[in-house]
A and B are shown apart, each in its own frame.
Chain A
Amino acid sequence: AQSVSQHNHHVILSEAASLELGCNYSYGGTVNLFWYVQYPGQHLQLLLKYFSGDPLVKGIKGFEAEFIKSKFSFNLRKPSVQWSDTAEYFCAVYATGRRALTFGSGTRLQVQP
């Protein structure tokens, strides 16, 4: 069965620190990959997506993610976090032939000023 693993459940960083959140998926076929963000009290929003082509994708608010096919990974990065990045981050996979997203369990990021 398809699954998505997010290794870090809770991350605490100081402002200006660099961020990397891990995401691994298990599916052997073609996938589309997403990171969603949920700010406190708000609904899930798409942060960035990978469909094909350049494995380094850039999203909103300075976030980027790298798809490494050989490692089944799609890690999220940001060079310098801000207090406003405090949120929960979800990695999701959409596999060809499926009709819905499979989400990881999420990583709660807390950025201290």
Chain B
Amino acid sequence: DTGVSQDPRHKITKRGQNVTFRCDPISEHNRLYWYRQTLGQGPEFLTYFQNEAQLEKSRLLSDRFSAERPKGSFSTLEIQRTEQGDSAMYLCASSSGQNHYEQYFGPGTRLTVT
């Protein structure tokens, strides 16, 4: 399967713990996006990378959140000191430079903070 992959698919953690999620985009895609989706809502933009550069961050991305994309391939999203309000589905998407409007989504990582 050459689609976007995310790991883990599910994560349960206790409040105050740190968690890290990984996203592997489609191999030839240089643009990578993180979104967050809560129950009953559509995905909301968190941050965007073009190659290894993080070019945009949403106001939703508090100081406890950090994302990286070393070498412009896979990306990680880390949440420090998790809170119950962080419980959500975290989605990764990628797109190519030529057709960057079309974003392809991964299966998501469902985070539950207890």
B102 with A46: CB separation less than 8 A: yes
Interface size classification for chain B: 20 to 34
> Once the chains are docked, how many angstroms separate the CA of A104 from the CA of B108?
18
B104 with A46: CB separation less than 8 A: yes
> Once the chains are docked, how many angstroms separate the CA of A49 from the CA of B108?
22
Chain A nearest CB from B41 CB (Å) reads 5
Decide if A43 is an interface residue (CB 8 Å cutoff).
Answer: yes
Selecting from B11-19, B43-51, B64-72, B75-83, the interface stretch reads B43-51
Q: A99-B55, A103-B42 are in contact. Are A43 and B48 (CB under 8 A)?
A: no
Q: A46-B102, A46-B104 are in contact. Are A100 and B45 (CB under 8 A)?
A: yes
> Once the chains are docked, how many angstroms separate the CA of A45 from the CA of B93?
11
> Once the chains are docked, how many angstroms separate the CA of A9 from the CA of B44?
17
Decide if A51 is an interface residue (CB 8 Å cutoff).
Answer: yes
Tell me the count of chain A residues lying within 8 A, CB to CB, of chain B: 22
> Once the chains are docked, how many angstroms separate the CA of A36 from the CA of B101?
13
Per-position contact with B for A81-110: 1 when CB-CB < 8 Å, else 0?
000000000101010000111111110000
> Once the chains are docked, how many angstroms separate the CA of A9 from the CA of B91?
21
Decide if A112 is an interface residue (CB 8 Å cutoff).
Answer: no
Chain B nearest CB from A31 CB (Å) reads 10
B101 with A94: CB separation less than 8 A: yes
Per-position contact with B for A18-54: 1 when CB-CB < 8 Å, else 0?
0000000000000010001000001111100101000
Q: A43-B106, A44-B91, A49-B102 are in contact. Are A99 and B48 (CB under 8 A)?
A: yes
Pick the contact of B56 from A42, A43, A99 — CB < 8 Å? A99
For A105, list chain B residues within 8 Å (CB). 40-42
> Once the chains are docked, how many angstroms separate the CA of A42 from the CA of B1?
14
Pick the contact of A102 from B45, B56, B101, B102 — CB < 8 Å? B45
Instruction: Taking A92-B42, A100-B33, A105-B42 as given, write out 5 further A-B residue pairs in contact, using a Cβ cutoff of 8 Å, ordered by the A residue number.
Output: A43-B105, A49-B102, A100-B58, A101-B43, A103-B43
A-B pairs, 6 with minimum CB distance: A103-B42, A100-B45, A44-B105, A43-B107, A99-B48, A32-B101
